Structure 1
């Protein structure tokens, strides 16, 4: 039988692999979405928006995606790219909780709150 320490090390190795996979998949999905938007921009020759404007709020991005606007699709890809490390922080909280490392759960949770707070402030243009 494995000792508790060996089980923890095995679980942590699995969590680290999952975190690496999340980062790789997040970047790949983001690149694909941005690539689709770029191809659409090259084929249509139009961004879907007048002048030098582009969507900055999630509602405008979703509305633009429904209308197949290239800049909106590229912004969705950027949004996914930004969310990838945030998802990594969430998985890290789980990993530290699984390890019963309360200090790092608290620190990582504070980091997550700061990230979410910054995103909300950015969304509200504050």
Structure 2
């Protein structure tokens, strides 16, 4: 092994360490933001005593949630927080695809991309 190979391995190792830190931050920040949005909805619910929707009616589509957020409906905030919580590990999968690509580990790129596709398909099927 020559100096260039050692330097390249060190750069890849450093980039992987940086990516691991980014993944950890994504998970923490995602959970904190999701919890804060849910807490805002809960506080609004406790203050108003009303979820903003008729009995047994909740926003279940992104459009309905978005519309409810603009109208200040507590249940919309709680649903948005839940949606953000669900998206947090999905974002982690996306960053992992990049990390495996940087490592040139194409087997794991394919596997992780397949996991991402399964998640996307399950969201679409689960919504219908």
TM-score by length of 1: 0.95
Structure 2, unaligned stretches of length 5 or more?
Answer: none
Alignment match of 2:53 (pick from 49, 54, 78): 49
| Number of equivalenced pairs | 124
Equivalent residue number for residue 84 of structure 1: 88
- Which structure 1 segments of 5+ residues have no match? none
Greater C-alpha radius of gyration: 2
Q: How much does 1:4 deviate?
A: 2.1
**Superposition RMSD on alpha carbons, in Å?**
1.0
Secondary structure, in 3 states, of the residue corresponding to 2:51?
Answer: coil
Taking the TM superposition and a 5 Å limit, the aligned residue runs for 1:1-126 are 3-123=7-127, 125=128
Task: Tell me the alpha carbon deviations over residues 62-84 of structure 1, each in whole angstroms, 9 at most, x when there is no partner.
Answer: 11111100000110000000000
Q: Distance in 2 between matches of 1:114 and 1:33?
A: 27
Counterpart CA distance in 1 for 2:99 and 2:20 is 8
Deviation at 1:53, TM superposition (A): 1.7
